Structure formats: structure tokens, C-alpha cells
Structure 1
């Protein structure tokens, strides 16, 4: 009967425990996300350095290929590439000429392994964002204390809300994964846009050589910034995603805790008033 009468005290303590568990789980998730960011950042840096050192040669091979039959017909392909933002599918040559892809290949080569570990959807990598979301729980964490029997429904309710929110966040990861990955090529294409437009304006005799020189000169000029910008854009979008995950979990679970205890307040406790009166009567007779 004493425990029943101390319902408010018990609820307050359990509430504090759940709030502490939430903060600890968020701190742990933040450390894990920081580790993933460092891993991704290092692989991006490697890709940036390789791209800067190789982009000129890679681009020259793509836009100034050795053709046994000479450059006949290639000027039309290069013109189409410039007018189409750096990419052209040649039916006559049965090939796709993509300068943006050529410029980003070393960055992708250097990040693919780490990116697939971090953003794996189905495979168990041990460090994927999906798995870290799955492991997040304020009920099952090591520091969690079991709720009293009278508040078992609180844990059930919170776990149900956790599962719902984690499912939603995991779906968001799948959607944004592609945008993060393609942001490298998007950034490079944007940096090269003015170059493509200007090169497309060259006409007449010698225009092929002038287009090639314009493209190569601008790549040399842009390389100091555009590859670094591509790296920063990947990290920016990744940071935004991980920040949204943490905020989504924090907001939803805090609300779930509040709602669960609001519901607990409406539960009718066992009426022990008659037993208390009986005990009081007995105590006066002693």
C-alpha cells in the first residue's frame, strides 16, 4: 500500500531514467556518426588529391583522343558534349563521351568502399547508418532500468514509437543516399558549366583545337577548388542527414516519454482505502 501511495515518486524517477538514457544514447550516436564522418572525409581527401594530379591527363585523353583516321567527325561530338553540359552519346561511335564522369572517377574510386560500408541498406557492415539507427533504444540500452510492473505499458509504448520513427528515418537514408553520392558529379558539372557554354560558342576553322584548349585550361584553373568543393558538399549533405537523424530520434522519443506518462496518469490504481482504515483501526487497539 505504501508503494501504491508513492506512485508519483516512482513515475518521476522512471521519467528521469528514461530522459538520461535518451541523452546517453544520443551522445553515443553522435560519437559513432563522428567516426563515420572521419572515415568518409579521409577517403574523399584521397580522391581529391588523386583527381588534382590526374585530371588534366584524364581529360586530355577523353577530349583529344588518338584517332587513326584523324579528327574527322570528332569536332561534332565535342561540340555536342559542350552544348550538353559535358556529356554526349554518340550513335556513330557507339559510345558515351562524359567529361564530368571522367573528372570524378578518382573521387568515386576512393570513396566507394567506405561509402558502401556507411550507407549499406541490406548488408551488415557493422558501422552502417542503418544499423546504428536499429541499435538505438532508450529501453534496451545497457543503462536502462526495468520499469515497475505498474509502468510496463510505458516501455511498450515507447518501444513502439521508437520502431515507427526508426523505420521512417531508415527510409529517409535510402532516399538521400543517392543524392549524397551523386553530389560529387553534380558539383563538378556545375563548376564546369560556364566552360562548356563558352567552348560551345567557338566556330569556324581551328575551333576544335580552341575548344580542347579552353576545356583543358579551365580544368587546370578550376581544379584547386572544384574537387575540394565536391568533397565539402558530400560532407555537408552527410552531416545534414546525420543531424536530422539525431534530431528526429530526440524529438520523437521525448514526445513519446511525455505521452506515455500522461497516459499513465489516467490509470486507475487499486482502491485500498478500506484496507487503510482497517489498519488504522487495528493500530488504535494495540
Structure 2
């Protein structure tokens, strides 16, 4: 395979084969993210993508799941992405799932008809970073997204029948805006009602704008206790819609994975136990590993 630069995929896609379709991220302005700082966004040549797909066929007798990288692949024109999807399903008739990264704005900018075409061509699920439902936090982290735009993007996905996994970040509001961040995020999630949710604790990535803000004192990190309280608040206040909860990111204080609302009480018991007993709550900063 011809991979360029650092390669990322969600931990949930550990068993999926990766096909690099774009290079970098078309937004690439989030203050907390360094995933694609080493790349300028561009689209790979279609022939190169096809060659990788053909090569994968020679390597695997059966391949059931493919994840398209790099960043927001859904920013591609629909006709181009349809050619990629059709090539995958023609080459791998046994394919069960094709997923990719997308921004909620990418979903919003596609028409429902376009998204339905992509769904029919094999697109199963998109992974998208909401990070926060608080418009102040979204502005501060350079997300380029408003809550209203998030609602529009999710509505398009639901109308097209494309599943959406949303990621949020505990602690992204910092010490001073922890409460506002989690209240607004929970309220927005209750409107969006994604099929899957992947919450993770904030990691300060070296070399990012956020890392500079931490060093200067402009951004004061939320404490581990605040991070646990954010997760507790969210779990207590999410409405009873069916959703897979992937709370098992390596940087989270507690490892929680299961369906909501069925596992809500069990998750809350674990969070409440951690609040009372985990020594990390006595620390000022949660130490996490860069991606």
C-alpha cells in the first residue's frame, strides 16, 4: 500500500483495511489537533487509489471492512467518491462495511440525494468530531462548526440512512468552562441522537496551538475530577435513545463500552466509584499520552 505521512484511524476500526483516499484535512485548523499538520490537503489520483484496492485484493481472500483515510474524505465530490466506493464493492463483493472520516459540515453540504447515492454504493458509516456542543468552546478551538450546522449535517445523514459515530472531548472547555461545555454538549447530543458516541478525555498534543495556550496560561486544563463529573453529567442527562457508547479510549479515566440506555446505571456506578476512590481525582491535570 502507498501511505503518505502519519496514518490515523479510529480505534474502533482496528480490524479494518485502510485505503488512503485524501491526504490531510481540508479544515486543519482545530487548535487541539496535530493529526495532519505535516500534510497539505489534496486528493489522491483515482488511478493510485484503484491500484491500492487491486493490490489489497491480491493480499486478502476475504475482506469485510474498509476504512477510507485521511481526514474528511466526505469533502470529495460525490462523483469521485462514488467511483471509489463502486471500485471497492466490485473488487470485494463480500464487503460488509465501508466507513470514513467526515465533518458534520461535509454532511451538511451534501444533498440528501447525494448521500443516498453514497449509501447505495456501499458507504455504511461516517466518523465525525463534534468535540463540544458549546458555541463558545467550538469557536475557541477553531472547529469551524456551529451547533446549528451540526444539526443540519446530522439531519442529512439520518435522512440518507448513513450511520454516524460522533466523538466528543471531555475537558475541551478547560477548567473555567467545564460545566457549560458538558451541558451544551449533552443538550445537542439529545437532538442529534447519533447511532454511536465515542467520548475521550482531552490530550494536549505537542506543537499544537492548544499546547501553546496551555504553556502561556491562556488555557487551564480541566482537572481529572471535572472530567469525571462531565462524563457523569452526560450519562445522567442523555435521553433514552439507543446508542453504542465507545467510552473505552485509552485516555479515558474509566473504560466504558456498551449500549445506552441499557448500560447507563452500570456506567454511572463505575464513574461514581472513580470519583470517590480513584487517586487521579487528587491531581490537578490528567496525564495522557499523545496520539
TM-score interval, smaller chain:
under 0.3
Tell me which structure has the larger Cα radius of gyration: 1
TM-score w.r.t. structure 2 length? 0.16
Greater relative contact order: 1 or 2 (C-alpha under 8 angstroms, separation 6 or more)? 1
Q: Which structure is higher in helix share?
A: 1
